[in-house]
Each structure stands twice: as C-alpha cells, then as structure tokens.
C-alpha cells in the first residue's frame, strides 16, 4: 500500500485520513500530542515535534507524499521534507499564510491580477508606529501577526490609547492594525490546484461567525449575488495561480455594505467552511487534498445539494453548569442531517468538537432542519 503523511493531528487531519483511507491509502500522522483526533483513525501516529529530525526522516522513509493540516506547522520542516519527497502545499505557500504581514503584502502585490484588495492596514511593531497611526485606520482591529485563529489574538480598538493598551496586553509582539470595515456578509472560496497548474473553485460559501468562531456555513449563500460570486471566483483563481500553490486553499473575503469585495486571509489547507463539501459535493475538500498531493487529476467540485453546516462547540455539552451528552439521536433523526464528531473527549466552551451538515432538496429544507437542530441542542439559531 501507498502511504501518505500529514503534519498535524487535529480534526482536519482526521477527516483527511478518512478520505485517504477510502481511496486506499495508508496514513501516518506526525503530531506531538499522543491522543489526537487524527491519531485515532490513522494507521500510524508518530508522536513527535514537527521539527524533530528523526521523525521527519521516518516520514520520508514511509510516505509517497506529505501534506499539512496545521496552519502553523514550521515551514522549515516542509522545506526539509521537500528535498526528498513530494510536499503539498509547499513551504512557500504555507509561510505566506502563516504571517499576516506577508499575506497582506502578497494580496496587495497581486491586486492587479486578482481585482481585490485587503483591508487598509499598518504594521505595529513599536510605540512610534502607534504614534503614527492615521485617523483613517480607526476604529480598527489589532491582530497578532502570527498564530492567531478563531478570533484569538485580536482586539478591537477605537483610539491610539486603545492600540497602546492592546499592543502591551499582547506582550509587545509585532501586530497588524486593520481598519474596521462595514461588513454586509462574509464568504469563503475553497480552491484546489494540481501539479499541472489546473485549478478548481468550489461554490461560494457564506459564513456566519459568533464570538470570532465560525458558526454556520451556508451554500449557496443567501446573500451572494452572481456578480459577487463571479468576482470572488476569479480573484481566488488568480491568487492560487500567483502563489504557484498545489493543494487545497481556502480564501476568506468580506463583502462590504457598498458591495465591495475585500480579501481577508487564506488558509493553506482544507477549511472549516469547506466541511459541507463532504456531504454536498461530488468531491470533498479532503478527497481533493488527497488527489492534489498524490498528483492525481483533481475531482469534480460540483455541489449536488444545498447545505447548511453547523459547528458543534463544546458549549452544547453544558446546560448552565450541568454537564450532559447532547441528544445526538434527535439530531440525526432530522432529515438530511450528517453528524461528524471528531473523537475529542473533553468538551470545553469554544472548543470545536464536531459539525453537522444539513442537506436538502432546497436550501429552505436544509435551513429548517438546521433550526430544529439548534432547538434540540439549545443553540440560538
Ligand atoms: P480564523 O479562525 O478564520 O483563522 P482569525 O482569528 O485568523 O480567524 P480573521 O479571520 O482575520 O481572524 O477575523 C475573524 C473575524 O473578525 C472575521 O471573520 C470578521 O468577522 C471579523 N473581522 C476581522 N477583520 C475585520 C475587519 N478588518 N473589519 C471588520 N471585521 C473584521
Ligand atoms: Mg485566520
Ligand atoms: Mg478568518
């Protein structure tokens, strides 16, 4: 059998492994934690740091190709692996997405080709940078340059004094100040590009966040106009081509109240907002990642059913202070419900534990079942 390797042992690695196994591959996971969602399902788990030399050598010896599920995997490790085996995505693509400054600079650099710009922004590394903030960037959001996710490492700021306090509270690490934009809604564009340079773009997904964490993804997006979809699709195709990227990449965009499309950030891997593809598209984002890294032709990304994806956070295990198992029997009894739990056994508020995707003949059908599920789980819809 052919082995594929994945750096990172979270739920994205788990769903990647399951897709790879369905296609007949064996999967080895490299992850420091001994118990992890991907390690539970993979044929082999190497419990070691992502920079561990002997562990990387083992991946090289065992695998035909290596991918990553963890956004912050050290790019140097990917580069080192790539000297001996095929790695997708490559270190260059991943390092751009790991660093908000590099990412914004890249977006500005390819704006002529993509037709979209990121939010106005400024690097904040020193007190002098704070003094020099123009009024046009306030109110804004101060974001750490590295490691932020799910809205962690972000503070909303209204004045230079706020920026100073927020900068200090983050320990003086380099940050990026972004102008706060008037969002009408948020979308993401899931793409995949093969070694041959051919790329595919999935349907535009509309995302709702709560407390900085993705709450739902709805496809087709109820607010997405065909003009917006066309523009986002063209922008995404230009961006992956410019990156010379191989693999699945998800790009987040804002649509402003005046209709302007703004590019926010990108994830060099399958993305939470692409989970609906498992139940609603011909080729899931995870199967697509397997194809890209195995240097196979990419799959058809057509959607066969309208879908609403609901993230299941640890909160639903708690009724006030009472801990209880959610009523999964009632959730899966809903027509079109597809439950995916990630095998994590310590639910905590805000922790991603699983998701449910509702598919239907019409979007209204799927939305109705989603509302029923919210009622069962005690979630405000
Ligand atoms: P993720 O988990 O998606 O990686 P993240 O922590 O990297 O999230 P962002 O995606 O940059 O952070 O921001 C999180 C959310 O905050 C956005 O989805 C959006 O709702 C809001 N937001 C971020 N930047 C802006 C902005 N410039 N103007 C208005 N809202 C914003
Ligand atoms: Mg992010
Ligand atoms: Mg984001």
pLDDT for residue 347 is more than 90? yes
pLDDT for residue 73 is more than 90? yes
Joined together, the tokens standing for residue 111 give 């704006």
Q: Determine the Cα–Cα distance for residues 164 and 132; give it in Å rounded to an integer.
A: 12
Identify the pLDDT of residue 151: 79
pLDDT band at 204 (very low <50, low <70, confident <90, very high): very high
Ligand whose nearest atom lies closest to the CA of 144: 1
Neighbours of ion ligand 2 (CB under 5 A): 265
Residues 40 and 343 sit within 8 Å (Cβ to Cβ): yes
Identify the pLDDT of residue 43: 98
Identify the pLDDT of residue 149: 83
**C-beta 349 within 6 A of ligand 1:** no
Identify the pLDDT of residue 197: 93
State the virtual CA torsion across 232, 260, 214, 89 in degrees, nearest 10.
40
Domains of the chain: 3-87 (3.40.50.20), 120-179 (3.30.1490.20), 183-377 (3.30.470.20)
pLDDT for residue 320 is more than 90? no
Lowest mean pLDDT among 145-149, 262-266, 322-326: 145-149
pLDDT for residue 71 is more than 90? no
Average pLDDT over residues 335-350: 96
The set of residues, in sequence order, having a beta carbon less than 8 Å from that of 31 and lying 6+ positions away, is 7, 8, 9, 10, 13, 38, 39, 45, 46, 47
For the chain, percent of residues with pLDDT exceeding 70 = 100
ipTM exceeding the 0.90 mark: yes
Average pLDDT over residues 293-315: 98
Which helix (DSSP H) or strand (DSSP E) does residue 55 occupy?
Answer: helix 53-62
Residues 154 and 145 sit within 8 Å (Cβ to Cβ): no
- Which residue lies with its CA nearest to atom 15 of ligand 1? 212
pLDDT for residue 225 is more than 90? yes
Q: Is the pTM of this model over 0.95?
A: yes
Average pLDDT over residues 308-336: 96
What separation in Å is there between the alpha carbon of 63 and the centre of ligand 3?
31
Rg, Å, the chain Cα set? 21
């Amino acid at each position: 059998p052919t082995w594929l390797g994945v750096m990172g042992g979270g739920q994205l690695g788990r769903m990647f492994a399951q897709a790879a196994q369905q296609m007949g591959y064996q999967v080895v996971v490299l992850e420091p934690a001994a118990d992890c969602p991907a390690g539970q399902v993979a044929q082999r788990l190497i419990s070691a740091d992502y920079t561990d030399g002997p562990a990387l050598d083992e991946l090289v010896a065992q695998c035909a190709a290596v991918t990553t599920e963890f956004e912050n995997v050290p790019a140097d490790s990917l580069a080192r692996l790539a000297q001996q085996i095929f790695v997708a995505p490559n270190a260059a693509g991943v390092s751009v997405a790991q660093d908000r400054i590099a990412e914004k600079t890249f977006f500005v650099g390819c704006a002529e080709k993509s037709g979209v710009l990121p939010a106005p922004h400024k690097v904040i590394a020193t007190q002098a940078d704070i003094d020099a903030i123009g009024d046009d960037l306030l109110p804004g959001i101060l974001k750490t340059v590295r490691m932020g996710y799910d809205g962690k490492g972000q503070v909303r700021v209204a004045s230079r004094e706020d920026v100073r306090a927020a900068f200090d509270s983050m320990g003086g690490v380099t940050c990026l100040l972004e102008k706060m934009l008037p969002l009408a809604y948020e979308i993401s564009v899931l793409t995949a590009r093969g070694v041959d340079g051919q790329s595919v773009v999935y349907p535009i997904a509309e995302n709702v966040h709560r407390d900085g964490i993705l709450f739902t993804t709805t496809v087709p997006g109820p607010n997405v106009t065909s003009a917006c979809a066309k523009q986002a699709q063209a922008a995404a195709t230009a961006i992956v081509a410019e990156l010379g990227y191989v693999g699945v990449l998800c790009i987040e965009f804002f649509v402003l109240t005046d209709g302007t499309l703004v590019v926010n950030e990108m994830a060099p891997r399958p993305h939470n907002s692409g989970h609906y593809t498992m139940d609603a598209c011909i080729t899931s984002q995870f199967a697509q990642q397997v194809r890209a890294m195995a240097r196979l032709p990419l799959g058809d990304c057509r959607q066969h059913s309208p879908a609403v994806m609901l993230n299941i956070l640890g909160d639903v295990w708690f009724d006030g202070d009472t801990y209880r198992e959610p009523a999964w029997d009632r959730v899966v009894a809903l027509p079109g419900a597809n439950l995916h739990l990630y095998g994590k056994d310590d639910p905590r508020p805000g922790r991603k534990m699983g998701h449910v995707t509702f598919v239907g003949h019409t979007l209204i059908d799927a939305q109705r079942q989603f509302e029923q599920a919210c009622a069962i789980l005690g979630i405000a819809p």
